[in-house]
Amino acid sequence: MNKYPIIQLDHIIKRYFVGKPNELEILHGLNLKIYPGEFVAIVGESGSGKSTLMNIIGALDRPTEGEYILDDIPISKVKDTEISHIRCKKIGFIFQTFNLIGKLSAIKNVQLPMLYAGVSKKESLKRSKELLELVGMKDRMKHQPNELSGGQKQRVAIARAISNNPTLLLADEPTGALDSSTSRSIMDLFHKLHQEKQMSIVLITHSQELAKETERIITLKDGQIISDCKGEGYHEHLG
Amino acid sequence: MNIWDNILLALQSLRVNKMRALLTMLGIIIGISAVIAIVTLGNSMTTSITDSMSSFGIQNVNVSLVEKSSTNTSEGMTSIRMFSKPSYDDEDLISNQMIDDYRKVFSNEIKAISISENLSQSKITKNQNTATVNLVGTNSDYQIANNIELVTGRFINQSDMDLEKLLCVISTEFAEDIFGTSANAIGQTIELTLNGFSKTFTIVGVYQYDSNGQVMSSSSITTDCYIPITTAKKYTNSQAGYSSFTVVANSEVDSSSFLKNTTSFFQSYYTLNDSYTVSASNMESMLESMTEMLSTITLAIAAIAAISLLVGGIGVMNIMLVSITERTREIGTRKALGATNRNIRLQFIVEAVVICLIGGLLGVILGIIMGSIGSSLMGYPATTSISACIISVVFSMSIGVFFGYYPANRAAKMDPIEALRYE
């Protein structure tokens, strides 16, 4: 395991409605380190603070207290304008509901983060084709999202998430809207990316089954980490 | 993410909601087309009026008597006053002596001095053919001042004037109606009624009648019949002087200083006259004031039409607000994927501008069509102002920027977490 973590959360506290009578503390001083190439599952029941934690890790939200360091960048000190660039280059988001842009074809969806990152059109097009081939969507590049099945949409979304070679792939219930066989193929794709591309993946799920096949399982309850243990891993799990 | 990507994206999103986009554009289309149509109509009228006025002779200076109280009014207005006929005392009128003096003083600058007086209408019956003429008493210079083109014969000359001869010059229309051809008319006599008395006049010339674009059945045309003004004065027992006349300056003469000198020359005769003085104006100044008046009217109407552009702009703003609400999740996703606030703002501003640009272009096309149809219905040649078209399109684009900014800014400032959670 590498010495320097890509994600370092130090005593993270997140409160909502600060200073108001209905002030609500969701995360109570979380500490967490995730190292490059790790495949981590964050599990917990609804209301445990999973989503809040994901928003903080994904630099969509800032902690009320504590320090978050992403790939040597102290996110708490970064200006709002720069945070978009950090999201663009360091993090690949995968959502439960895919969130593909409806009017754009599969290939244009994959191209989008690269265009935001300033990659040339020609280069981004070339890379989009490679990525769609990698996720097994070579034949559907020109299709609009409404012409794709759920599993296909999620494959396009995964290709989009890894288009800028992010430091971290952040997947929020990626199989939540899929049937079991499609879920299996999506999980296989995550394992493929992890093993072949050495991608660091954080999988947020409420499913213990899916969590088991990762390398590390972090369990949240009431805004605190109650366990941080080794998972079974892909091969052991299947075997 | 450059502008071109945003334009393509905007076109794509307009294609998804074609009907909505069209309805949104409608305000802009109506506004722009109204402005363009009105400007086109105004331009056509101005061009047409300018053309027809220039044919009267831009170098001509009208010298006319005006009441002293009205000397402050604009030159255009005093010129229009010529058409009404107030009553003058004999000593108020411009005398032959004054005109002769004037001709001597400005002999190098004057090409012709045309004097004319509209008399009565006269109905002529000859060889079972009937025609009506306007009798106009003129001097010999009238031909030069009014660009009268003779087909055959000659115009009234100075000796006709001096001898108060019973001669006339008729139009081609009249000659053809009564005598068959113009050549046949020369030397023939016609009976003209002057002041109730019938007199026999000999035809000495026939001039080319210019219909000036008026469309009438040829049998009903009343054309001018010119007789020596001295003859007219004699038989109508009218006053000796004139209330107005026209001076044709040589083409190299500076018209404004000539106008000024003419005015001051004649005004010197009227310093002691309590009621009247003389005002000189030329077609140029009249034309200027009329063109100015027309363009003010055009501008005023166009400004009213521009209000519908404001309404159209509000429509665009409204639809953009609906659009960003509908696309909240998309905005959230884009932000998560790394779009900056600037990217999002630009995307929606470009979308609003594209709506307005398409609306503006359609409006310009529709406006040109409406303006052309309107002009041709009114009998003017259509003159579309290219600058008005360009200004309209640029203006409609700026409406897009103005009314698109607020919705776009709202989209840009959305919290990505809230936006992603939006159902």
Predicted confidence (pLDDT) per residue in A45-94, tens digit: 888 999 899 999 999 999 999 999 999 999 988 988 889 999 999 999 99
Tokens of B195: 């002041």
CATH number of the domain encompassing residue A107: 3.40.50.300
- pLDDT class of A201 with cuts at 50, 70, 90: very high
The reply to whether B196 and B126 lie within a common domain is yes
Q: Please indicate whether residue B72 or residue B106 has the higher confidence score (pLDDT).
A: B106
**Does any domain span residue A201?**
yes
Alpha carbon distance B315, B326 (integer Å): 17
Residues B60 and B417 sit within 8 Å (Cβ to Cβ): no
Domain membership of residue A19 (yes or no) is no
The per-residue pLDDT of chain B, averaged, comes to 83
CA dist B374 → B42, B293, B309, B371, B379 (Å): 10, 20, 21, 5, 9
User: DSSP strand E in A72-188: where?
Assistant: 73-74, 91-94, 168-172
A105 pLDDT band, cuts 50/70/90, is very high
Tokens of B103: 């001709």
Taking residues A26-30, what's their average pLDDT?
Answer: 91
| Element counts in chain B: helices (H) and strands (E) | 15, 11
Residues 149-178 of chain A with CB under 8 A from chain B are 160, 164
Tell which residue, B219, B225, B205, B213, has the closest CA to residue B149.
Answer: B205
Domain count for chain A = 1
DSSP secondary structure string for all residues of A31-89: EEEE-TT-EEEEEE-TTSSHHHHHHHHTTSS--SEEEEEETTEEGGGS-HHHHHHHHHH
DSSP codes of every residue in A216-233: EEEEEETTEEEEEEE---
Distance (Å) from the C-alpha of residue A66 to the closest C-alpha of chain B?
20
In this structure, the answer to whether residues B233 and B342 fall within a common structural domain is no
A101 touches chain B (CB under 8 A): yes
Inter-residue contact A103 to B13 (CB < 8 Å): yes
Does A207 contact B at CB distance below 8 Å? no
Residues 6+ apart with CB under 8 A from A19: none
The number of distinct structural domains making up chain B is 2
Which residue range forms the structural domain that includes residue B278?
Answer: 60-283
Confidence of residue B57 (pLDDT cuts 50, 70, 90): low
- Which two structure tokens, joined as six digits, stand for B9? 């994206």
**Stated pTM of the model:** 0.71
pLDDT category at B85 given cuts 50, 70, 90 is low
As a whole number of angstroms, the longest Cα–Cα distance in chain B is 106
Looking at the fold, whether B125 and B222 belong to one and the same domain comes out as yes
Q: Residue A171: give the domain boundaries.
A: 36-60+79-238
Q: What is the pLDDT of residues B265-298, one digit of tens each?
A: 888 888 877 778 888 887 777 777 888 888 888 8
Q: Taking residues B8-12, what's their average pLDDT?
A: 85
Say if residues B124 and B178 touch (Cβ distance below 8 Å): yes
Question: Residue B211 has what pLDDT?
Answer: 64
User: In terms of domains, do B228 and B107 share one?
Assistant: yes
- A115 is a domain residue: yes
Identity of the residue in B332, B339, B420 whose CB atom sits nearest the CB atom of A116: B339
Residues B115 and B132 in one domain: yes
* Position A181 in a domain: yes
Distance of CA B254 to the CA centre of its chain: 24
Of A154, A143, A138, A89, which Cα lies nearest the Cα of A115?
Answer: A89
Specify the residue for token string 């992010």: A166
Q: Could you report the per-residue pLDDT of A159-190, keeping only the tens digit for each? A: 999 999 998 999 999 998 899 899 999 999 99
Q: Are residues B273 and B137 in the same domain?
A: yes
Q: pLDDT, tens digit, for every residue of B287-328?
A: 778 888 888 888 888 788 778 888 889 999 999 999 999 999
Given a cut of 90, whether residue B118 has pLDDT beyond it is no
> With contact defined as beta carbons under 8 Å apart, do A36 and A2 qualify?
yes
Tell me: do B314 and B352 sit in the same domain: yes
**Is the CB of residue A205 less than 8 Å from the CB of residue A44?**
no
Residues B66, B150 within the same domain: yes
- What gap in Å lies between CA A198 and CA B150, rounded to an integer? 102
Q: Are B334 and B5 in contact (CB under 8 A)?
A: no
Instruction: Judge: A81–B329 Cβ closer than 8 Å, yes or no.
Output: no
Q: Chain B residues with CB inside 8 Å of A101's CB?
A: 330, 333-334
Same-domain pairing of B194 and B305: no
B86: confidence class by pLDDT, cuts 50, 70, 90: low
CA angle B71, B73, B77 (to 5 degrees): 110
Co-location of B68 and B174 in the same domain: yes
A128 touching chain B per CB within 8 A: no
Tell me what the mean pLDDT of segment B128-137 comes to: 81
Residue B215 has pLDDT above 70, yes or no: no
